[in-house]
Structure 1
């Protein structure tokens, strides 16, 4: 992994964690509904990406494809609806567990293999995620859990589709723009329940314009330098980043179990990435 890929990956992971924090805060502390949050998130993301594309000197033509757009919309909508009935810990576990499992499965399908110590590292990271999210999570809603699993699988598919993008910014912008007609259908279906307030709108715009639009463009730029197994494993850091930030910004408890789990997650990820780099 090059220094550029590492830097881009770190920034993208911070953006993903910020997305979770903004979504939790909006759906917990404001009046906005999940359909409105999703709509504003995708609309602001599309606008920011289009502006970034227009400002650069080379070709500003969008690319992307409908497969990427459907995967992106499915992730965003399922993510928002799931977080109305899931606590932060259970949601992060289900989301990123589904992401890494789907991407690793695809990697095996394409011929990637883990060394023995990489398996140990992955199991250590997974065990850390489980330990991180066990205290106080309770029994999550079955329907919300299934939605979050769907969000994770969709995000894994979106990430894998991004590996072949020749122009990450144009592809991301095109995918966001293509979600708009799908988003319009969702809003029509949820018309009677649409509501928002100023705080919810701000959260959604930040989530879409900064954390999603710019964050996903950065992630697309990092993906060509990562194997599918690497891309899956590194995203396990996001639940840790989310819970740590949640303890600071949202008043969530920071326990010794959380710290131990965090060491396991980051240690396991480091083992997978280091061995993959040396292979």
Structure 2
């Protein structure tokens, strides 16, 4: 048998099967996203939330509404749709906030308990001071001002090593919206920060050099802030976190290829000294 005559058709057939498999996988995912988007929009319409944008990445949904209240309500509705795994609420300004939604609710009024508290004198106003209370000439030390323990050098170094091991956080192209994989990595970062509660961290955003310098600077800032907001949402104390954007000013590599551009698009965690 002449192998030179047989091998080329075999190679072509194998490559063709690989391409066909990739096309089928992509098409199947697109079908799932399209079907889930349709279901989500139907559920939102039934709930009277028509002005909501739904974007699916696999089975993970992002919903964007004009107000925080509508975005949170839409996330609840879409989260109940069969087949959708996770839902994140956004407004045009970023992650939706329950606090902002409550503050903007005109029907929110003080409850009966707070009115009663205002009308009833507190025990401190009538009871004589106890032995533990300060008398004239003494100053009470606020409980919240007690100094916290400073992390050791070894603790800082270990936290930095663990944070460096976290995969790169990805975003939707030219936006501060996290991809589904990006949201997964932020959850991983939150777990690492929970393991090192003694350290403070600066979240640094970097972009590639495509686009204007001013746009990249603003985009890097918004991406760093988005990661910070998501970490706080996941339970990390906001006092431990700061964010800063560097735009395209601090590339990891000189960009010569698309792969180089991808390396330069990144979010880094730096432990404060």
Shorter-chain-normalised TM-score: which range? Answer: under 0.3
* Larger CA Rg, structure 1 vs 2: 2
Q: Which has the higher contact order (CA 8 A, sep 6+)?
A: 1
TM-score by length of 1: 0.20
More helix by share: 1
TM-score by length of 2: 0.21
